[in-house]
């Protein structure tokens, strides 16, 4: 049961992110929801790479020990770098939207000022 806690945390992060993405109207809260989903997926990838009593895969001689999986770690590092770039793009778009419309509410964006 204790080994399932990271999976439960990853699912909780993804569900909280989906809730914020679907039900929130503020653009900043939507971006936070996207970040929660991203972090949940990253936690899930790292949890998949975990092996009990394993060693890092950089040693050439392992003996009788198993090695942890290196591919999910590489995918997670790549995902973090891409996530930072996407976050910067989203925040810059939000700044431009706020300057143009004067609001962050998605219901009021795109409508003519009344």
Ordered by start, the domain boundaries in the chain are 2-101
**Cβ-contact 112, 36 below 8 angstroms:** no
- Amino acid 114: pLDDT: 55
- Amino acid 37: pLDDT: 97
State the architecture of 2-101 in CATH terms: Orthogonal Bundle (1.10)
- Amino acid 5: pLDDT: 92
Angle between helices 27-49 and 71-101 (to 10 degrees): 180
Q: Using the 8-state DSSP alphabet, how is residue 105 labeled?
A: B
71-96 tens-digit pLDDT? 888 899 999 999 999 999 999 999 99
9-32 tens-digit pLDDT? 999 999 999 999 999 999 999 999
Flag whether pLDDT at 113 surpasses 70. no
Question: DSSP letters along 28-71, please?
Answer: HHHHHHHHHHHHHHHHHHHHHH--TTEE-TT-S--TTPEEPPSH
Calculate mean pLDDT across residues 84-110: 94
Higher pLDDT, 11 or 108: 11
Q: What percentage of the chain carries pLDDT values higher than 90?
A: 61
């Amino acid at each position: 049961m204790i080994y399932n806690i990271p999976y439960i945390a990853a699912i909780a992060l993804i569900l909280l992110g989906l809730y914020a993405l679907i039900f929130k109207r503020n653009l900043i809260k939507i971006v936070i929801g996207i970040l929660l989903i991203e972090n949940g997926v990253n936690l899930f990838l790292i949890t998949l790479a975990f092996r009990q009593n394993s060693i890092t895969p950089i040693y050439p001689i392992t003996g009788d020990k198993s090695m942890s999986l290196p591919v999910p770690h590489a995918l997670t590092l790549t995902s973090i770098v891409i996530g930072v770039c996407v976050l910067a793009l989203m925040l810059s778009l939000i700044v431009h939207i706020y300057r143009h419309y004067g609001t962050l509410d998605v219901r009021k964006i795109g409508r003519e000022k009344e």
